[in-house]
Structure 1
Amino acid sequence: MEIRIGMINTAREIGLETSQTMAEVETLVANSLSGTSPVLKLSDDKGKTYLVASANIAFVELGSDQNRRIGFVG
């Protein structure tokens, strides 16, 4: 699943792809934004871990759970 995170006062976004389900990511984001956790912690498919301060999150965009198609579709 593709995730984009927009940060306050920053023109760039954080983009990553994860194998976590949409429900898992939604729970992590909701806990982070509600103040339960001061840091949003996500892991991508390549093994990298992203720690984002909850106070700096402007938006979180969640893509679909479907895998991307490769090649020409016609």
Structure 2
Amino acid sequence: MELKIGMQSAPREVVVDSTQSLDELRAALDQALLDPNGILTLDDSNGRQIMVFVHKITYIELTEGTERRIGFGSM
């Protein structure tokens, strides 16, 4: 699952290729939103953990993982 997270005062979005399911991601976000200073913790496909302050999030876009095409075949 690919997540794009828009952050306040950041010119670029944070992109995470997560190993978590949609339900797991929603549960993690709901849990983090319970605390005004909550931190959303995500696991990516490379074994890293990404932590984001929820009060800085402006939007989250979720998409199913798709195969990325490289080169002239992607046009």
- Give TM-score scaled by structure 1 length: 0.79
SS for the counterpart of 1:60 is strand
RMSD: 2.1
8 A Cα contact 1:31 1:37, kept in partner: no
| Contiguous gaps of at least 5 residues in structure 2 | none
Q: How does 1:29-40 map to 2 (within 5 A)?
A: 29-35=29-35, 38-40=38-40
* Counterparts of 1:50 and 1:70, CA distance in 2: 22
8 A Cα contact 2:36 2:55, kept in partner: no
For residues 20-56 of structure 1, give each alpha carbon's deviation from its aligned partner in whole angstroms, at most 9, with x where no partner exists: 1100001111222342771000010001110101111
* Large movers: runs of 4+ above 6 Å: none
1:23 aligns with 23
Q: Number of residue pairs matched?
A: 70
8 A Cα contact 1:3 1:61, kept in partner: yes
2:5 aligns with 5
8 A Cα contact 2:37 2:53, kept in partner: no
Instruction: Confirm or deny that 1:68 pairs with 2:60.
Output: no
2:50 aligns with 50
* Counterparts of 1:58 and 1:70, CA distance in 2: 26
Residue identity (%): 26
